[in-house]
Structures are given as C-alpha cells and as structure tokens.
Structure 1
Amino acid sequence: MTDPRVRDPKALRALSHPFRWKLIHVLTEGGPLTATQCSEKLDESVASCSYHLNMLAKYGFVEEVQGPGRQKPWRITRARQSISPDGLDPEGAMAAETAALAYLDQEFERIRERLVARKLLEWEWRDSVGTDGSTKFLTAEELAEYKNELQALLTKYNERMDDPSLRPEGSRAVRIFLGVTVATD
C-alpha cells in the first residue's frame, strides 16, 4: 500500500486550490474522465479543467490513461491523501494547513449541496442520508482506538472503487466524511 501522507510542500500547495479537490472527487466517483467530461460535470471551462488536471498530474495525484483517440481520460493515482503539518518545516506546515482547509471547504460545500438535493433521492436512499455528530469524553488512547474502529468501517467496500464489476446493481457513489477533533483547554 502506498503511503497516503503528502509531505512535499509543493504538492501540498497544489492541493490548496479548492477546484482541484473537486476534480479529485469527480474522478474518484466517476473516472476516468477527459477534461471535457470534467468540464461538463463541474460546470467549468475545459481549459481550466485541463490546467488543474495537469497541476495535479505534476505531483502524482492523477494521470492520463493511455489509449486510442486524441482526448485522453484522467484517473486518480492515489485513492487517499493524508495531510498533516506534523514533522514538516514551517513552509511545509503552512502548505499542509492551507491544503487541509481547502479540502474541508470543498467537502463542506459538497455536503451542503447533497443535503439540499436529498429531496430528489428515491425514498429508499433518503433515510440513510444525513449528518450526525457526537461529543465523547475520552482519553488519548481511547480516542486512538475509537478512530481506528471508525477507519476500519470506512475501508469496508474499498475494493469496489477500483473494480466496478464488484459493485452490486443499484449501487451509487456514497460519500462518507469523518472528522475527529479535540477541544483545547
């Protein structure tokens, strides 16, 4: 398994643009896609999509799929990116924080859009869609164990991402977002 940590400050700066996160998400859920197809899905110009895809490719987040034809589709090369300022020099730490905030902004925008669109879903999907939050009083060790248990649930069905033949009929791309924070005293 490839280390998901992004440590290069330049690569982290490449992730600091919110539109690049949109491209990562659209390729994760619907890829491989050409810049034109990304443009249609994201209501952005083909030139803009192409530029940002090339920037993501420069740092290894996406790549062009080889095949016939003039327009080459793009695909995700890393299913997971882990961003943390821990252990980075000040420049890298600032780039990591900026990239993480761009990711969160885009993720929250996406959650808002999908919650508003919930009313368009068939009834069998509506009950499972929503948000939830909980406050616990835990030790650092308990939190680590709890987070590991939640992450194990998040990896369930991961094989369906790379192999569409494993997806059951009627399945859809479902986004599950986990945030774990600790209050500072």
Structure 2
Amino acid sequence: MEDISVITAVHHPLRRRIVDHLLLHEKAQVGTLARALDAQVGSISHHLRMLQRAGVAEQIQAPDGDRRASWWRLIRTSLSWSSRDYADSPADAYLAREARRLNVRHQLERLQQWNRASPNSDVQGFNTDALAWATPAELSDLSQRIVETLETWRSGIDREDGQRRMPVYFFAHGFPTEV
C-alpha cells in the first residue's frame, strides 16, 4: 500500500508535470525543468524538494561535475493505489479518491490534446478496449501484467541508436462495469 503522502505529493499538477518530464528525460537540471514547464526556478526547486520528501525524486551529482547546478532524477517510476487501501482513515481515503480524480483528469486532458492535434500529425496513435469476465484477483493480475509489459517495452528502447523519437503517452483503466 502506498503511503498517502506519496500519492498526494505526485498528484499536484506541477509536480505531476515534473515527474512526467523526468520519466522521459531520466534526469534534468532545475533550470531546464523551469524552461520546459514554463515555471519559475524557485517553484521547481520547491516542488522537487516535496517529491524528494515523498521518496519519489532525488538530487544527483551533475553529469559534468559542476556543483553549482542542481540535477534531479526519479527514484519511483510508478504508483498503484485504491481508495479502499485507506478504509481505516476517511481523510486518507478522500485524498486517495481525489488523487485518482486528478489522475483521470490528467489522462483525459492529454487524450483531448492529442485528438485536437492528431489531424495534423504524421504519427498514428491507437486506442483499444476490451470487455471480459474477471474476479478481483484476475483484474489485479491484468493490471500487474500491463505494468510489467510497459516496463519491459520502455526498458528495451535504445535511446542512443540515432533514431528520432517523440514522447508517447499510454494509459489504460480496468474496472468493473455493467453490460
């Protein structure tokens, strides 16, 4: 079970953007993050410290050894939680539900952004869905398999092979429904 402080730390809108940037670029200097995210350096530093306190990001040595530069990377690359994990604390359950709501909003905003831009894109996206019968354990197994597949896929990409790549966003939800 995730500590609620980790979930709430990541789901602040600017911190979520910082996490996304670090996921793609592996490490970044505070000034680079500020320019990329159109934010003030002081604000980025504050939010990185919040992510550090939550155990999500850490400050690292500058690749060029310059001690004046503040470089950061992620320690955690994924989170998984359910508001039911916090049934003993109504306040924490509320925070977990709110983080889930913010997460879905973030995902849908990205999808809407893609849909607006896709008619002008040379790159084809995809969508998929499925409907099946499953127990709670089988649904949990599906979630784990998807996470493992994504990690295997992401770790198999050779970013140094000279090919032109673009950021790709993937999200999926699995949940009980009625037909």
- Normalised by the length of structure 2, the TM-score is 0.79
TM-aligned CA deviation for residue 115 of structure 1: 2.9
* Larger RCO of the pair (alpha carbons < 8 Å, separation 6+): 1
Classify 1:23/1:172 alpha carbon distance in 2 versus 1 (closer, same or farther; 3 Å). Answer: same
Distance of 1:110 and 1:59 partners within structure 2:
25
- Letter of the 2:32 partner, please give it: Q
1:175 equivalent to 2:166? Answer no
Classify 1:44/1:112 alpha carbon distance in 2 versus 1 (closer, same or farther; 3 Å). Answer: farther
Secondary structure, aligned partner of 1:80: coil
1:76 equivalent to 2:70? Answer no
TM-aligned CA deviation for residue 63 of structure 1: 1.0
Classify 1:157/1:94 alpha carbon distance in 2 versus 1 (closer, same or farther; 3 Å). Answer: same
What is the number of residues matched between the two proteins? 173
Distance of 1:66 and 1:154 partners within structure 2:
28
- Paired residues of 1:14 and 1:55 also in contact (CA < 8 A): yes
Distance of 2:170 and 2:162 partners within structure 1:
18
- Paired residues of 1:64 and 1:72 also in contact (CA < 8 A): yes
Distance of 1:45 and 1:173 partners within structure 2:
23
- Paired residues of 1:24 and 1:76 also in contact (CA < 8 A): yes
1:93 equivalent to 2:93? Answer yes
1:158 equivalent to 2:146? Answer no
Aligned counterpart in structure 2 of residue 39 of structure 1, from 34, 43, 61 = 34
Classify 1:27/1:145 alpha carbon distance in 2 versus 1 (closer, same or farther; 3 Å). Answer: closer
Classify 1:137/1:81 alpha carbon distance in 2 versus 1 (closer, same or farther; 3 Å). Answer: closer
Query: Percent of aligned pairs with the same residue?
Result: 21
Q: Which runs of 5+ in 2 are unaligned?
A: none
- Paired residues of 2:4 and 2:92 also in contact (CA < 8 A): yes
TM-aligned CA deviation for residue 151 of structure 1: 4.2
Aligned-pair Cα RMSD in Å:
2.8
Classify 1:153/1:56 alpha carbon distance in 2 versus 1 (closer, same or farther; 3 Å). Answer: same
Distance of 2:143 and 2:59 partners within structure 1:
35
Q: Which runs of 5+ in 1 are unaligned?
A: none
1:25 equivalent to 2:17? Answer no
Cα deviations across residues 140-168 of structure 1 (Å, max 9, x unaligned)?
2664555455445333323247x744x67
Cα deviations across residues 18-54 of structure 1 (Å, max 9, x unaligned)?
2211111111012311222112222222222221111
Distance of 2:16 and 2:36 partners within structure 1:
14
Secondary structure, aligned partner of 2:99: helix
